[in-house]
Amino acid sequence: MATINNNYMKLPGSYLFAEIARRVAAYKEAHPEADIIRLGIGDVTQPLPQVCIEAMHKAVDEMAHKETFRGYGPEQGYAFLTEAILKNNYESRGIHFDTDEIFVSDGSKSDCGNIQEIFGTDNRIAITDPVYPVYLDTNVMAGRTGELQDDGRFAGVTYLPCTAENNFQPELPKEKVDIIYLCCPNNPTGTTLTREELTKWVNYAKENESVILFDAAYAAYITEPDIPVTIYEIEGARDVAIEFRSFSKTAGFTGTRCGYTIVPKTVKGRAADGSLVSFNPLWNRRHTTKFNGTAYIIQRGAAAIYTPEGQKQVKELVSYYMENARIIREGLNEIGLSAYGGVNAPYIWLKTPNNMPSWDFFDKLLHEVNIVGTPGVGFGPCGEGYFRLTSFGDRQNTIRAVDRMKNTLRF
Ligand code: MLT
């Protein structure tokens, strides 16, 4: 009989957002009249920018004619998109990459999850706690961790606590780690790492021959000038960091799917024979073997954000969600709750009242005010006593949600 990958047996029942969806569906079935406002999963609600729509319509028309029809494209992405990304997001900051150091994909969740395949299973990983669950779960699946322990942590993983007490800044690990996942602006806490903090991490990685997997999916939400928009703004980062970026939150592509990963040729790991090997050809091998490219139509839509009009429309979209973030943050402060994030990120991370356990607060919000959020503990043990709200709702629902909380919740 075929055997299973036993590493999957180490994972808790279901993926965090699947569990939330299950609980909300059960509540809705019991209370069909409930007017539920969803501020849980970070899914966008506003339509795609008009420039993207027009570019995609045009691309659809091209597909209708033999002369302009496209079949398989380059797995790494069409040059019109990779060149636009490199020019607008990197060269504009004095950072240069070759076009074969960028890989377009169907989104950064896939890339963040798949990247671990090109690393040995004997690497020790470090993750912040709380953390976007994809980083940890995919390493559990690959067998890079031990069992889940009573304290909610997996054996063999270095957890870097991020709480209000340390201002959500992870400390450098005491032991040597090989792979470090950093997310900035952070999902779930909505906080950021300064240039100085990020420099510490790059220096650590250089000294310890580690690789930083830098998730910058929310880079478009940075408003403060001293926060690096890409890790490659930090000297030496191109030797130690792989960066993930996404059109999902930047331009409303959560359903449309497009992201990209920068794998500089200078980021290297050690082979079994002790030689140094660049990760870039390994990722290229993986990408071309397992992925057949993001749809032409979608890539045309993504490239449209780099036109002057596209840049304007994307800024408007980001501002819309950031205004929601302000409304939520200030509303929470008015009812006496401590709220973090929401300044350089679309997430607001709040301290639950009287240290209420995160899932209890989830139930309280769902049952008393029909609002769905995300329990902090779902992102890791240090998220216990915290709760995440997203600013990706529409304006009216965001205002209604804050009003409901103000008018109903008593602690
Ligand atoms: C989240 O809510 O954390 C995000 O939507 C997850 C994701 O982008 O995959």
pLDDT in single tens digits along all 411 residues of the chain: 999 999 999 998 788 888 899 999 999 999 999 999 999 999 999 999 999 999 999 999 999 999 999 999 999 999 999 999 999 999 999 999 999 999 999 999 999 999 999 999 999 999 999 999 999 999 999 999 999 999 999 999 999 999 999 999 999 999 999 999 999 999 999 999 999 999 999 999 999 999 999 999 999 999 999 899 999 999 999 999 999 999 999 999 999 999 999 999 999 999 999 999 999 999 999 999 999 999 999 999 999 999 999 999 999 999 999 999 999 999 999 999 999 999 999 999 999 999 999 999 999 999 999 999 999 999 999 999 999 999 999 999 999 999 999 998 876
323 and 258 both lie in a single domain: no
Q: What is the pLDDT of residue 346?
A: 98
Q: What is the pLDDT of residue 19?
A: 87
Q: Which of 46, 20, 36, 40 is nearest to 395 (CA)?
A: 46
Ligand 1 atom closest to the CA of 374, numbered from 1? 2
Query: For the domain that residue 351 is a member of, what is the CATH number?
Result: 3.90.1150.10
Structure-block tokens of residue 231: 């890790």
Please name the residue whose Cα sits nearest to atom 3 of ligand 1: 42
376 and 264 both lie in a single domain: no
Dihedral class, residue 190 (left if φ above 0, else alpha if ψ from -120 to 50, else beta): left
Q: Quick check: CB of 300 below 6 Å from ligand 1?
A: no
Pocket test for ligand 1, best of 15, 24, 43, 247 (most atoms within 8 A of CB): 43
Distance CA 95, CA 83 (A): 13
Strand partners, 375: 387
Ligand 1 atom closest to the CA of 134, numbered from 1? 9
Residue 295 lies in a domain: yes
275 and 389 both lie in a single domain: no
Please name the residue whose Cα sits nearest to atom 1 of ligand 1: 42
Q: Does residue 245 contact residue 261 with C-beta atoms inside 8 Å?
A: yes
76 and 90 both lie in a single domain: yes
288 and 353 both lie in a single domain: no
Domains in the chain, number? 2
Pocket test for ligand 1, best of 16, 24, 41 (most atoms within 8 A of CB): 41
Please name the residue whose Cα sits nearest to atom 9 of ligand 1: 109
pTM over 0.95: yes
Three-point CA angle 132, 135, 136, nearest 5°: 95
Query: For the domain that residue 145 is a member of, what is the CATH number?
Result: 3.40.640.10
Structural domain range at position 247: 53-307
Residue 167 lies in a domain: yes
- Of 285, 307, 329, which residue is a domain's last? 307
252 and 395 both lie in a single domain: no
Instruction: Classify 274 as helix, strand or coil.
Output: coil
Ligand 1 atom closest to the CA of 248, numbered from 1? 8
Please name the residue whose Cα sits nearest to atom 5 of ligand 1: 42
Distance CA 171, CA 182 (A): 12
Distance CA 107, CA 250 (A): 12
Q: Which amino acid is at 48?
A: L
